[in-house]
Structure 1
Amino acid sequence: MSEPARRRPMRADARRNYERIVAAAQEVFASDGVGASLEEIARRAEVGSATLHRHFPSRRSLLEAVFQDRVEALCSRSREHAERSSPGDALLAWLRDLNSYAATSRGLAASLLHDSRDADLLQQNDGCRAAITAAAGELLHRAQQAGTVRPGVCAEDLLALVNAISLVTEHHDDDAQANRLLDIAIDGIRLPR
């Protein structure tokens, strides 16, 4: 979509189509890689190919939207946890969300690295990385102020732990090991009672 078109508000039906396309693309790219059929994405979104291309003139523009959409949802979850839970519980719940995000994103990230045409999306997504780091930092600060998390822990440590868990468990079909490893890491950042 061109920059002027992005600034204009979308009609309700166009917005629904956009959201369905991004949701379908998340699923298809995660399962089939970045080279997945755009026609399959359009079919799953229940839109025509022309509608997909009107919103996303290139595969790259669709990939950018998928990354941005997922990161925005993850950051939104951090705010929801902060509003509904104690500081320590909010951080731990969001780390579980981040762990799930990492698990479902690793196939997409791996296929981007494999298909070097769009691999720079991972490096260029500094805004996404900054948003995730800020969300982690806010939750961590609240938890440390409440005395539930060790004072020496920083947001980058938490992100590195979740990333490491994702890398170690990437070839497992279930999330049980990733969840167990996250629980062990969580026990390590908590202050003793």
Structure 2
Amino acid sequence: METLDPAPLRADARRNHDRIRTAAVEIFRERGLSAPLEDVAAAAHVSKATVFNRFGGRAGLIDAVIDDVAAQELLGVIERARAVVDIGERIRWYVAALRDLQYRQPAVNGVILRQVPGSRGLMELCGQGECFHEELVEQGVASGFLAGTFEPEDFHALAIETALVLEERGRPPRPSYDRRTTFLLDGIARPARVARPGRPDRHASRDGSGEGTDPGGEA
């Protein structure tokens, strides 16, 4: 059965719609997805009831602005990460870029925390992030950059923990935040096995094949 297109909005209704959308983009980007709808309405010079009439509530409003407040930048980070050839560098670049985005854009943390599960656009964006994490882990473990016990949920947890801290405690000074990013990046990479000075690597054979054991054992 054919469906009819919605009737075009009257000029005043269209102006309200556009003002609400513009205000929501500005406020959600600045203050996050949990910002009061009353503030959006005030910035748009309409009533809260008008926001509900035009968008059906917070979930509908977020669906209308998710591209501008979070999706474009989040998906851009994913695509730029995919362009990094070396998997180790790809993982390091992605984690650093995501943390930078979380610091700069509070709305991104609302997406990561799934603050509005009724928003289809938000949940679809979360799904794309999860798929990318699975991709990173599969390739990172296969390359040896990540430990075999590393799981996609570990990437999710790292992003969620960062989001919670930023949401609850606010943004720390940028140099401190960046320093902790370095600590995090150094921690997730699988450490290279290094032989003790003056002694052979206990996991390496005398011919370098890796089949032997440490001569004489270890005290």
- State the TM bucket, normalised to the shorter chain: 0.5 to 0.7
Of 111, 116, 139, which aligns to 1:142? 139
> What's the TM-score once normalised by structure 1's chain length?
0.61
TM-superposed CA distance for 1:129, in Å, is 2.3
Match of 1:33 in 2: 35
Q: Are the structure 2 counterparts of residues 25 and 64 from structure 1 closer, same or farther at C-alpha, using a change threshold of 3 Å?
A: farther
Select which of 20, 23, 26 maps to 1:24: 26
The normalised TM-score by structure 2 is: 0.55
CA change 1:107–1:88 in 2 (3 A) is closer
* 1:92 corresponding residue in structure 2: 92
Report whether the alignment pairs 1:156 with 2:153.
Answer: yes
User: CA offsets, 1:5-33, max 9 Å, x none?
Assistant: 7xxxxxxxxxxx8xx94753543553992
Identity of aligned residues (%): 16
**Structure whose CA Rg is larger:** 2
Give the drift of 1:181: 2.6
SS class of match (1:191): coil
Letter in 1 for 2:55: P
Shift of 1:160: 0.6
**Residue pair 2:81, 2:94 contacting (<8 A) in 1 also:** yes
Unaligned runs of 5+ in 2: 7-17, 46-50, 193-219
Task: Write the distance in 1 (CA, Å) between the matches of 2:186 and 2:85.
Answer: 18
**Structure with more contact order per residue of length (Cα contacts < 8 Å, sep ≥ 6):** 1
Structure 1, residues 31-52: CA drift from partner, whole Å, max 9, x if none? 9924333463x69xxxxxxxxx
Partner of 1:180: 179
Q: Distance between the aligned counterparts of 1:155 and 1:68, measured in 2?
A: 25
When the two chains are superposed, the root-mean-square deviation of aligned CA atoms in Å is 4.0
- Tell me how far apart the structure 1 counterparts of residues 71 and 108 of structure 2 sit (CA, whole Å): 16
Q: How many aligned positions are there?
A: 162
What is the rounded CA distance, in whole Å, between the counterparts of 2:36 and 2:63 in structure 1? 11
Quote how far apart the aligned CAs of 1:153 are. Answer: 0.8
In 1: Cα distance, 2:179 partner to 2:118 partner: 29
Residues 107 and 174 (structure 1 numbering): CA distance in 2 closer, same or farther, change over 3 Å?
farther
Over 3 Å counting, the alpha-carbon distance change for 1:172 and 1:24 in structure 2 is: closer
| Pair 28,156 (structure 1): closer, same or farther in 2 beyond 3 Å | same
User: 1:157: how far off?
Assistant: 0.6
Shift of 1:173: 4.3
Q: Distance in 2 between matches of 1:153 and 1:108?
A: 23
Q: Distance in 1 between matches of 2:128 and 2:175?
A: 27
